[in-house]
Chain A
Amino acid sequence: MSLNPQDISRIANLARLQLSSDESERMLAQINGFFAIVEKMRAVDTTGIEPLTHPVATVQDVALRLREDVATETNQREDNQRSAPAVERGLFLVPKVIE
């Protein structure tokens, strides 16, 4: 299968990436070149195979660890916002959100 320019702009929009037209073209070529390799994978018969998420689950059960419900974090707003692009009165500023 191969993608077309419409796919590229749809995906770029989903990923919130602005692509110039020549970037889109390069991207299209690169991604299609890549999907040529991926086709091999799609042919493999995987019926009855469990997907592997945590690699070590190959040899042992890996279950989610649960922590006790205790609140220990204190207010570190200043440190945490040190690298924020736009802050006012402790709030992160963004262009108006319309609902």
Chain B
Amino acid sequence: MSGALHDLGVAELARKLKAKEASAVEVAQHFLARGKAQASLGAYLSTDDEVTLAQARAADARIAGGESAPLLGVPIAHKDIFVTKDFPSTAGSKMLEGYRSPFDATVVRKLGEAGMVTLGKLNCDEFAMGSSNENSAYGPVKNPWDTARIPGGSSGGSAAAVAARMAPAATGTDTGGSIRQPASFCGITGIKPTYGRASRYGMIAYASSLDQAGPMAHSAEDCALLLSAMCGPDLDRDSTSLDVPAEDFSRSLDASLQGLRIGVPKEFFAEGVAPDVRAAIEAALQQYEKLGARRVEVSLPRTELAIPVYYVIAPAEASSNLSRFDGVKFGHRARQYGDLTDMYKKTRAEGFGDEVKARIMIGTYVLSHGYYDAYYLQAQKIRRMIADDFQQAFRQCDVIAGPVAPTVAWKLGEHGGDPVADYLADIFTLPGSLAGLPGMSIPVGFGDARMPVGMQLLGNYFQEAKLLNAAHRFQQATDFHLRRPEGI
């Protein structure tokens, strides 16, 4: 790996800053410049050099004052689903064009207090609804490995920014795979913690019972540092935030994998999985065996059901969460309208994109009179069965491994007009999301067209440290996470 600043990960940058080999201002300027140079990728939605450099100067002052917090002075960019005081917050929607939040999301605040410097806000699918980042009102994001391809979604801007070295790290959110899938498609590392670990306060809600924040970076080591700073109870702001103490997720990174039982669900290797992905995952599993881990076959019999269950629950919650966008208190309002109802209908018709409208319609329908029991309630019951299946599986294994997605990143517009094709591609990330389990994606190789392939690791509740340990040991033995796209 070359010595250029942008090739350094979070941990390395922190070391460099602590050793005063570079200042936070220099580091921030370097990444801001790279962001501007690669604007054509469409990763950033907003930047503000003055705000960023002011934060960097403050960090330098803390460093000069002898402070040495693990993330002090290291830059990061935020998915635009997090609200921020100092940058606009759009959720990738026309509805929130230019919206200014009077407060910072808890996750943003915690990372700021840890001394991290905000580079800007990153593109994403509108209200985090999508798997390709093609649903952003501000244009698609291009995959740095092949700009004709999608970066994945909904945290596509986050994945692309890190892969293209425009930021050493980014925040993402994962509702049905929105951290793991883009991380996989862009060849980086990302983790979604147990539901309730990271505060949802200030995360513009898509599906409340599924949304979780998490870090996206180059390595498991970096993700562990970031996740430790992002998580922790937010008892005063988020009723779903769990009252479990913050942890140092780096503590067991180097633990041996000797005897680690890796559960491989046979359903994750059904015929739907493309051969190139299958091969890369197979190789990764063999690598794990070399590291002392043991393969156990497990079963998640309701894997396929996760698709309808998720696509009933998430739109139902979304249809209600998005009712607040009515043109009254904030955000877009139609220019021309007649009475109140007309104002609502035109405002929402103009402000929301097609996929958001479709999910609002589906969600409204499944909650509407006479259908609630058959759809939403039924889905929540099967959701418990799916979660129980995982508990069964974890009796036989310590972590579960499999593909993140059935294929590598597809071409922009390839699924055009058929969102259901996107839905089906979420099949392997949805079960873990429904169960609220921690999950991550690590680069394990390359498939067709030299596109990155990610492996998904799922752990039981609160087992983030174990996942990161398994990922870190793999990355100690391989260099897939250090590979860079052509010309980056």
Contact = CB atoms under 8 A, between A and B. Distances in A.
Classify A-B as touching or not with yes or no (CB < 8 A).
yes
A94 B420 contact: no
A48 to B, nearest CB: 9
Max count, chain A CB within 10 A of own CB: residue among B239, B338, B423: B239
Given A30-B358, A38-B308, A16 B330 contact: no
Interface string A58-74: 11001011010000000
Interface in B349-380: 349, 352, 354, 357-358, 360-362, 364-365, 368, 374-375, 377-380
Contacts of A55: 195-196, 209-210, 383, 387, 434-437
Contacts of A84: 328-330
A84 B333 CA distance: 9
Contacts of A26: 354
A32 to B, nearest CB: 10
Max count, chain A CB within 10 A of own CB: residue among B236, B361, B374, B419: B361
Contacts of A31: 358, 361-362, 365
Contacts, number: 178
Given A15-B364, A44-B305, A65 B420 contact: no
Contact of A17 (B209, B349, B385, B461): B349
Interface string A33-51: 1100111111010100111
B78 interface: no
Contact of B378 (A3, A7, A12, A46): A46
A53 B327 contact: no
B55 to A, nearest CB: 20
Interface stretch (B14-22, B40-48, B339-347, B479-487): B339-347
A70 to B, nearest CB: 11
Chain B interface residue bracket vs A: 35 or more
Instruction: Name the prevailing secondary structure of the B interface residues.
Output: helix
B100 interface: yes
A17 B327 CA distance: 13
Interface of A: 3, 7-8, 11-12, 14-19, 23, 26-27, 30-31, 33-34, 37-42, 44, 46, 49-56, 58-59, 62, 64-65, 67, 76, 79-86, 92, 94-97
Top 4 closest pairs, chain A to chain B, by CB: A55-B436, A51-B380, A85-B333, A52-B384
30 contacts: A11-B361, A11-B365, A15-B319, A15-B360, A16-B344, A18-B348, A27-B357, A33-B418, A37-B308, A37-B424, A40-B305, A40-B308, A41-B309, A44-B378, A49-B384, A51-B381, A51-B383, A53-B209, A53-B380, A54-B240, A56-B196, A62-B196, A62-B242, A76-B102, A81-B329, A82-B100, A83-B331, A84-B329, A85-B330, A85-B333
Interface of B: 98-100, 102, 194-196, 209-210, 235-236, 239-240, 242-243, 304-305, 307-309, 311-312, 319, 326-333, 337-346, 348-349, 352, 354, 357-358, 360-362, 364-365, 368, 374-375, 377-385, 387-388, 390-391, 418-420, 423-424, 434-437, 461
